[in-house]
Amino acid sequence: MTAYAELAVTTNFSFLRGASHPQEYVARAAELGLHAIGIADHNTMAGVVRAYREWKEHREKLKLLVGTRLVTSDGFETIAYPIDRAAYGRLCKLLSQGKLRADKKGQCKIGFDDILEASIGQILISLPPARLTQSFADRLTRLAEAAPGRAYLGAIYGYRADEPRRLGRLAELGDLIDVPLVAVNDALYHVPQRRPLQDILTCIREKCTIAEAGFHLERHAERHLKNAEEMARLFAAYPDAIARTVEIAEACHFSLEELSYVYPEEPVPPGRTPQQYLEELTWDRARWRYGEEIPANVQTLLRDELALIAHKNYAQYFLTVYDVVRFAEKKGILCQGRGSAANSAVCYCLGITAIDPNTSSTLSARFLSMERDEPPDIDVDFEHERREEVIQYLYERYGRDRAAICATVIHYRPRMAIREVGKALGLTPDITAALSDTVWGSWGDGIPDDHIRQAGLDPANPLIRQAVDLASELIGFPRHLSQHVGGFVLSQPPIEETVPVGPAAMEGRTFIEWDKDDIDAIGLMKVDVLALGMLSCIRRCFDLLNHHYQAHFRTIADLPQDRPEVYEMLERADSIGVFQVESRAQMSMLPRLKPKTFYDLVIEVAIVRPGPIQGDMVHPYLRRRDQIEKVEYPPRLERVLGRTLGVPLFQEQAMQIAIVGAGFSDGEADRLRRAMATFRHTGTIHTFREKFIAGMRANGYEADFATRCFNQIEGFGEYGFPESHAASFALLVYASAWIKRFHPDVFCAAILNSQPMGFYHPAQLVRDAREHGVEVRAPDVNHSDWDCTLEPASEPSGAVRFAVRLGFRLINGLKKEEIATLMAGRQRGNGFHSIEQLGSIEGLSRHTLERLAEADAFRSLGLDRRMALWAVRGLDPRQLKRDGTEKEPGAPLLVSHLGDGIFPEEPVALPEMPLPEHVAEDYMTMGLSLKEHPCTFFRPLLRRLGALTCEEHRRESIPQNAQIIVAGLVLTRQRPGTAKGVVFATLEDETGIANLIIWRKVFEANRRAAMSSRFLAVRGRLQRQGLVVHVVAESLLDLTPELRRLRDGFRTPPPTSDVHAGWDSRVFRSRDFH
């Protein structure tokens, strides 16, 4: 039996060339019984780890070679496979240099001499051009000299008419130069059925349609993986060429497993081992946390954890993370770690997290994953505005060659896929647009036929069918690499010897070709340096609290813990602005879950996610919590399920059940997790299901229970939230809730200054603050800062001693620099007394003054917006010092005469602006109004329609299922992917908010109103469950055109023109989440 190894494979990581995933190639090679497969993409190593992961499933039968196809700028191609680790490093370095040299991002520029230089230890298979030239022969000769015994000539059976003659010539050349022939099939896809997709990729690459592509397309579909028998038949005249494929495979003993990780040395002071230093530090800092008397259970925990760290040799990882966190601490940058290793006692002592193991003992699964051989993984969230400082620190400390950013692979998404495929097939843009818009949001598995019909197209049309099928294949293909937001790889030896690096967006920075999953698979060190807006917000709160309330808060751990008032507030779903729990879904869950302890918050964060919802865990959990249902689970799973009353809620639990209950190995559990995460469920789900249930039954669990467990896990998919992350988030939930509960004034100012962030617009945040007794003052030229500030309240009540003065940042169209100038001028002049005073400030443009006037910011000068605007417009352009950006007035001759007394202006009595118009203008300039809610003016109209106010509709007096009408501005719209086409919307009127549920039928019947109206009246049925009230919509009335009356007045006849015209949509914007 002949053996064959396919050594020329192009995966889809040779962007727009290969038409199969690396893992597909490996799986197919195993199926075909090949001896080995080599993955060698164009000037990159980006796809090799994916191949490696798949290969681990088949390692008994198949060998994997990892290499790259080196393509020079003048078109010479040779496939390079490194024999050993050193040669692999040389290749990576070669590619890195090529990327740095390239003119365009993402390209790689190498020359033939570069290949010669790096040729030590490489097997080089050169691919001949279509016509043999002398220059090719010369280069081959030079390669043979540089790499004696390691240079080969690749022979491809191309199914041309004169194939034997061509191969003969090639063999002759090989003999002449003494470079032996080796057979390759130069695969572009793993099965011939992928040829159409490969043609489409060619069209996308060459930017032409398939009809125009001509000879760019391959002539046949033979460039797929072939088995040994077939290859031997094609190369019957050259059996040595086949045998050499196996020789080469055997000669290369480099494996990615050899990329053992070497941590950077900096964090360890000389004279101590990493473990020693870690232990010293830990005990030291434990005393800092707890005082001299460290609690006994904490001591035990620390000893156990330190022993485990020593055993696994992870000390350096922790020290490196500690190093970054310490830097942040010193600079006063708020940060918090999350991840399974982060929630350890060691990390608490080191200050990496603020979760006190003494009080949160239920996080017993803390180290479970570390026991299971996963490398520790800690993400650190920093204040988003100061994250850049942290990144700079990393580069300074470790050097630009030893710190690099992870990649993230940008894949083809459904809309892009159908657009590109449609374009390549020559479909007109309106057809591709219709197809890409068919499903609101994202696709599932292709597009169902009736969606296509809804778009006005015929699913039976072969072109449409082809387009949809090909696009479905294309979804998930990599398009290009981009740098990850915060993942950093740090290493002792230069990174470019482990993986190719390329230039990142910022000067001097690089990013590697592998993404986070790849890094985990290989075991490199990664620290995620992430940005969290809420941390910036909390730090602002601390600054304000320390300044105005004489507090001394530095870190989150300084806040008073476990205050019952905070939990009471959350139970009432009074959570606007609070981290993670302010969404509509969360606000419905809070009164049901009724969190009372910190761990309840951990559950709250994780439970309102697609995973648990889809897996139907939420209701069982709540029932058990309310003691409607008995809490029961097999005692053996106590450690896994005890803390969540027997219902798996966290991602870790799903995997732990597979391991503890069904006897899965770690690798299998990981594969199970991945199998559920793919876009299309491949047939393998069934094998997992069988294995799982069989495994559990073998362990003595009931078949019923096992089936239920698997269904829950399947429902989870990839969307379960890790417990460790939930815990870190829960800390921030508590912190932001504490501040909101005890210092709503501080909270309001800080959260406004941290926008954009969170679920709500400033309008809702301000309304919420006012409902909690905070006085909010309008922006004013004499009082405001760029940011919102606190001023002594006119009527301090209890703990709330300050009022919030809105800052200039809320006004549209202002520049921060000009406002700084304004404030400087204000300080010099001891306040402003007239518009002219403002006009005389150098650097303050007329544009800015007009915006301020429009925003009604001159009230302290006794001018409302109309009068202020009039005054600004009347400013003498000569008086108004121009800042160089203003245009010259049109008639200079005339201008110089103004204001010289010849044309005096009489003071004009301007008509008063009605309140509705003020409110409309407020919304236009700031997105909110302190004067009145727009719905107040429409109340008579709404009453005539029969609507209740939002406050009224919550009253207990309204029976369940009553038919009612509510109306208001549309705040948000949501269509969660888990909810089968249901749309949730939130309305707001002058009294509060109403939550709507719009089922699919109603949505389709009222599509336009549901999707884009800004002011909506809804008739529907009331649903109440405790504190949670919803209206299930039956019919919708779009009132958006009425909004125009705010400006045009209420006596004018109702507008007749189109709903979506003009400023209504712009002014009253909603947040739409798809």
Partner 1 sequence: MQPPERPGFPDQRFDPGFGFEAVRLGVTAADPLVPRQTGFTLSAAATREQQARLTDALRQRLGSGSVRRLRPVESHIPEQAVLSDTVDDAPSAWPPSRDLPLRPPLLLPKAEPAEDVVAVVPDGPPQRFRWRKSLHWVSHTQGPERIAAEWWRERQPKPTRDYYIVEDEAGRRFWLFREGLYGREASHPRWAVHGFFP
Q: Which residues bind partner 1 (CB under 8 A)?
A: 159-162, 165, 168-169, 172, 176, 192, 195-196, 199, 210-211, 213-215, 217-222, 425, 462, 466
Beta strands in 492-545 (DSSP E): 501-503, 510-515, 526-532
Choice between 225 and 495, CB closer to partner 1: 225
Residue 462 C-beta: closest distance to partner 1, Å = 4
C-beta closer to partner 1: residue 467 or 709: 467
Beta carbon of residue 625, minimum distance to partner 1 (angstroms, whole number) = 57
Asked if 527 and 378 count as a contact pair (C-beta separation under 8 A), the reply is yes
- Whichever of 459 and 914 has its CB closer to partner 1, that residue is 459
Q: How far is the CB of 211 from partner 1 (least distance, A)?
A: 8
Minimum distance between the CB of residue 220 and partner 1, rounded to whole angstroms? Answer: 4
Residue given tokens 């470079």 in the structure block:
179
Q: How far is the CB of 239 from partner 1 (least distance, A)?
A: 19
Give dist(CA 775, CA 527) in Å, integer.
43
How buried is residue 103: exposed, middle or buried, by Cβ count under 10 Å (0-12/13-18/19+)? exposed
Given its phi and psi angles, is residue 507 left (phi above 0), alpha (psi -120 to 50 degrees) or beta? Answer: beta
Nearest residue (CB) to partner 1, 221 versus 685 = 221
- At its nearest, how many Å lie between partner 1 and the CB of residue 209? 9
Residue where the block lists tokens 């909810």:
979
Tell me if the bond preceding 756 is cis, omega within 30° of 0. Answer: yes
Distance CA 714, CA 886 (A): 63
Q: Which is nearer to partner 1, 196 or 476 (CB)?
A: 196
For the CB of residue 158, give the shortest distance to partner 1 in the complex, in Å.
9
Query: Strand 789-797 relative to strand 800-805: parallel, antiparallel, unpaired?
Result: antiparallel
Shortest approach of partner 1 to residue 222 CB, angstroms?
Answer: 6
Closest CA to 340 of 363, 310, 306, 312: 363
Nearest approach, Cβ of residue 460 and partner 1 (Å):
10
Q: Shortest gap between Cβ of 491 and partner 1 (angstroms)?
A: 47
Cβ proximity to partner 1, 172 vs 240, nearer residue:
172
Task: Please list the helix, strand and coil fractions of the chain in percent, rounded to the nearest 5, in that order.
Answer: 45, 15, 40
**Considering beta carbons, is residue 225 or 576 the nearer one to partner 1?**
225
Q: Whose Cβ is closer to partner 1: residue 214's or residue 700's?
A: 214
Q: Give the residue with the Cβ less far from partner 1, 221 or 958.
A: 221
Would you say 615 and 638 are in contact if contact means Cβ atoms under 8 Å apart? Answer: no
> Are residues 758 and 533 in contact, defined by beta-carbon separation less than 8 angstroms?
yes
Residues 6+ apart with CB under 8 A from 165: none
Structure tokens at 584: 């509509």
Cβ 289 vs Cβ 346: under 8 Å = no
Task: Give the pair of three-digit tokens for residue 144.
Answer: 């043979």
d(CA 451, CA 428): 19
Nearer residue to partner 1 within complex by CB, 1 or 161: 161
Write phi, then psi, for 45 (nearest 5 degrees): -120, 20
In the complex, least distance from residue 159 CB atom to partner 1, rounded to whole angstroms = 4
- Helices 618-625 and 584-593: crossing angle, nearest 10°? 30
Classified as helix, coil or strand, 78 is strand
Q: Whole-angstrom distance between the N-terminal and C-terminal Cα of the chain?
A: 57
CB 314 within 8 A of CB 519: no
Residue closer to partner 1 by CB (options 423, 777) is 423
For the bound state, the minimum distance from the C-beta of residue 5 to partner 1, rounded and expressed in Å, comes to: 23
**What is the C-alpha to C-alpha distance for residues 872 and 866, in angstroms, rounded to an integer?**
10
Measured from the CB of residue 230, what is the shortest distance to partner 1 in angstroms?
9
Token digits of residue 994 = 């109403």
Cα–Cα distance list, 574 to 587, 607, 741, 747 (Å): 8, 18, 9, 14
Minimum distance from residue 206 beta carbon to partner 1 (Å): 12
Give 214 or 270: the residue with its C-beta nearer to partner 1: 214
In contact, 503 and 99? CB cutoff 8 Å: yes
16, 38, 463, 829, 969 from 95: Cα distances, Å: 19, 18, 41, 62, 56
Cα distance between residue 477 and residue 410, in whole Å: 9
Residue 159 or 1073: the one with the smaller Cβ distance to partner 1 is 159
Shortest Cβ 169–partner 1 spacing (Å): 6
Question: How many other C-beta atoms lie within 10 A of the C-beta of residue 888?
Answer: 9
Rounded least distance, CB 413 to partner 1, Å: 23
CB within 8 Å of 123: residues ≥ 6 apart: 67, 80, 81, 82, 83, 147, 150, 152, 248, 251, 252
Closest CB to partner 1 among 17 and 169?
A: 169
Query: Closer CB to partner 1, residue 211 or residue 910?
Result: 211
- Output the smallest distance, CB 137 to partner 1, in A: 13
What's the min distance (Å) between Cβ of 188 and partner 1? 13
d(CA 896, CA 711): 82
Q: Which is nearer to partner 1, 160 or 554 (CB)?
A: 160
What three-state secondary structure class fits 555? Answer: coil
Six-digit token pair at 541? 């709160």
Comparison of 158 and 877: residue with beta carbon closer to partner 1: 158
Phi-psi region of 704 (alpha: psi -120 to 50; beta: other; left: phi over 0): alpha
Which of 191, 941 has the CB closer to partner 1? 191
Task: Answer for the pair 7, 245: CB distance below 8 angstroms, yes or no.
Answer: yes
